[in-house]
Amino acid sequence: MLAHGDHIADVEEVLQHYPEATVIGQPEICAYFKSAQNKDDVNLGGSAKIDDLKFQWFRLITQVRFLMELTVECL
């Protein structure tokens, strides 16, 4: 599995009901969902703009742990 099942478990069902939906994620995750008509793959540190929303992946490193976070900004 490319990602935790609890994070992507509903994607296939959403794509069945909303085939025009856009899958946004790292390239490997976007490639996993072959049924997705619209994909926007974003590497760590990259961003994607869809309509009036901007999505950005970034790394947050603290003394205790390493986190990857997705931010969404309304333009």
Write down the domain spans for the chain: 5-74
Tally of CA atoms within 13 A in the half-sphere of 28 that contains its CB: 4
* Tokens found for residue 5: 């099942």
Amino acid at 24: I
pLDDT the model gives residue 17: 93
**How would you write the pLDDT of the chain (75 residues) with one tens digit per residue?**
345 677 788 889 999 999 999 888 888 888 999 989 998 888 777 777 878 878 777 766 655 555 556 666 676
Q: Would you state the pLDDT for residue 2? A: 45
pLDDT reported for residue 59: 65
